[in-house]
Structure 1
Amino acid sequence: MVFPSINLVSDARNGVGESPFWDAASNSLFWVDIPARRVHRWRPDGGIATWQADEMIGCIAPAASGGLVAGMESGIFKLQLGDDGSMSAQRLAQVAHADRPMRFNDGRCDRQGRFWAGTMHLDMGLARVAGAVYRLDARGLQQQLDGFIVPNGMAWSPDGRTLYLSDSHPTVQTIWAFDYDTTDGAISNRRLFVDMRQHPGRPDGAAVDADGCYWICGNDAGMVHRFTPQGRLDRSVPLPVKKPAMCAFGGPDMGTLFVTSIRPGDASVEAEQPLAGGVFSFDPGVKGLPEHPFAS
């Protein structure tokens, strides 16, 4: 099997690089480093900008009115990023977590501009079933699902009528599919999509391509997997790091897959995977779909 060439976009050394998305208007890739409380922006000319937040940021998405919508620790915020490196944060909704301490984790907008995001306990090792999934739209913030440890892998089919969602905790490692009502954002018919215990790696962040196939990072296995809409493993792409975290399509023609990663804190990382925490890209041989902005 011939694998695509892997390019190093940024040797970012992120503690937890997450939530990448491509902004076509600025020809930029945005992502976050969760424990560092930072938003990063990379441009193909090599320019990188960074903004510092007051809380950890689990996920971001573009906002139709400008700036970003972000799932953080205490709720969901609207972020404005200044050209001078400043950041202003306006809380759109406060969340009543089921436990403490918790934060938002994976999230993105559906194809109608509703923002969806899940929450998790900060100590993943405790395996607290305290995580929930929320939807923010004109009706406010509403909990849609509970009973998760680490909700992850959120993505929609090209027609928006199927929602994919996973729990990446080692004791779960499952991806589900739901029927999705594009009119009101209601979900139904939860069903098994992929049992990731049958494949290398835990299911982390994901993206859907224009063919409707689901790409998901195999955390701990150093791979990105592509599954067909029927849940069949189509291909696996190895990466030079063990813990890829989330992938996103981008580039001028949406024909590049970007992958963020996690840099473990142990002493062996420099010798075994010196590029851990970096951002990578490769040509997946298929185009992706643009992220829909939050309809703020």
Structure 2
Amino acid sequence: MSFDLTFECLLDSRCDVAESPVFDERRNCLFFVDIGRSALHRVDLSGAGHVEWTIEGGACSTGLARSGRLVLAQRDRVVLFDPDAGAVTREIAAIEPDIADTRLNDGKVGPDGAFWVGTMHDVPDRRPVASLYRVSPEGAVERKVEGVVCSNGLAWSGDGSLLFHSDSRGAWIDRWQFDPATGALSGRRRLASLDEASGRPDGAATDAEAHYWSAGVSAGIVNRFSPEGRLVGTHRFPVPAPTMPCFAGPDLKTLLVTSLRPAGIGKENRSGGIFVARSPVAGVAVHRFDDRWI
């Protein structure tokens, strides 16, 4: 399917690094983080009802929980946040707390009900010392993938049988066979290798056709790949650095994309905002962290 997208600014938030958009169908709103300002945001799909919370300890990525709370990755902790109370209510796990030059980055809830979150080497001279982890609701932490510079791009196919994962600095996109019952990974396959011009892979989402949408943060584009890694669409973004797409709305055809604000950008530029387009193909509904007993 070939198509064009027309993006409009939903929220001119001017975030430092807006990331991790997730659609909450119960509240009919979008949650996202601003990593640069340690903030968590909520906004209605109309662009109204904007709320911002400053989170001590950082806000790097987020996902929905079955209880209505959010699972939130901080710099080196995974916690539960209650948006109704506006507060962190529980710590789930610590990840690499003794390593000063890494931090948590992209995280999403998998079909297995666990929170999957990766680290990144957070220094100018970045090296492949980061990893991808699985965090169970009970707080068990399991390292799943090693040798990553900046873990990113987590997304699952609609049937839960495929996991997509990227390294923004590698820069590559991989696909794994995924067991939704256990979270076991197998059959790693390299789908794409990218560069600055083709769009280093940042955050991502999947659609109902098992295609993978990747924010090409270095090239001002959103790329759409087939499940086999063929580039089937490149969509020009209205600001220089998109960071992550997600699908929203009752039919999951509202495409929302976060962005970061590069240093020195002009005052009139809406970089760091949230942008919206209508997609002809529906996205995959996100999963919820299984916190029923917490």
Please report the TM-score for the alignment, with normalisation by the length of structure 2: 0.93
Q: For 1:201 and 1:96, locate their aligned partners in 2 and report how far apart those are by CA, in whole Å.
A: 29
Matched letter for residue 168 of structure 1: S
**Among 230, 233, 249, the residue aligned to 1:232:** 230
> Residue type matched to 1:282 in 2?
A
Q: Does structure 1 residue 105 correspond to structure 2 residue 97? A: no
* TM-aligned CA deviation for residue 100 of structure 1: 1.2
Aligned-partner SS, 2:42 = strand
8 A Cα contact 2:112 2:182, kept in partner: no
Tell me, yes or no, if the aligned pair for 1:37 and 1:57 is still in contact at 8 Å: yes
Q: Name the SS for the 2:195 alignment partner.
A: helix
Q: Is the 8 A contact 1:98 1:131 kept in 2?
A: no
Partners of 1:247 and 1:98 in 2: how far apart? Answer: 32
Deviations 1:8-57 (A, max 9, x none): 01011111100001001011011000021111111134110111100221
Q: Is contact 1:258–1:282 with CA below 8 Å preserved after alignment?
A: yes
Cα gap change, 1:287 to 1:16, in 2 (>3 Å):
same
Partner of 2:49: 47
> Which residue of structure 1 lines up, in the alignment, with residue 63 of structure 2?
61
Please name the residue that 1:117 is paired with: 117
Aligned equivalents of 2:253, 2:23: Cα separation in 1: 11
Structure 2: distance between partners of 1:60 and 1:198:
27
What SS does the corresponding residue of 1:35 show, helix, strand or coil? Answer: helix
Structure 2 match to 1:294: 289
Quickly say closer, same or farther: Cα 1:224–1:98, change in 2 above 3 A: farther
> What residue number does 1:274 align with?
269
Distance 1:252 1:154 in 2: 23
How far apart are 1:89 and its partner, in Å? Answer: 4.1
Which residue is equivalent to 2:136? Answer: 137
The one-character-per-residue Cα deviations of 1:104-153 (angstroms, maximum 9, x if unpaired) are 10110112311100011222x21132211110115611111111110111
Matching residue's letter, 2:74: M
Cross-structure match for 1:179: 177
Structure 2, unmatched stretches of 5+, are none
User: Which deviates the most, 135-144 or 210-219?
Assistant: 135-144
Q: State yes or no: 1:249 paired with 2:247.
A: yes
- TM-score norm. by structure 1 comes to 0.92
Aligned amino acid, residue 266 of structure 2: E
Aligned pairs, number: 288
**2:35–2:59: 8 Å Cα contact kept in structure 1?**
yes
- Work out whether residues 17 and 259 of structure 2, in 8 Å CA contact, stay in contact via their aligned partners in 1: yes
Structure 1 partner of 2:9:
8
AA aligned to 2:129 is A
Cα deviation for residue 98 of structure 1 reads 6.9
Aligned to 1:37: 38
Secondary structure of 1:197 counterpart: coil
Kindly indicate whether the alpha-carbon contact (under 8 Å) linking 1:118 and 1:132 is maintained by their aligned counterparts in 2: yes
Structure 1 consecutive aligned stretches of length 4 or more whose deviation exceeds 2 Å: 1-4, 96-99
Match of 1:201 among 188, 191, 199: 199
SS of 2:100's partner is coil
Q: CA deviation at 1:66?
A: 2.1
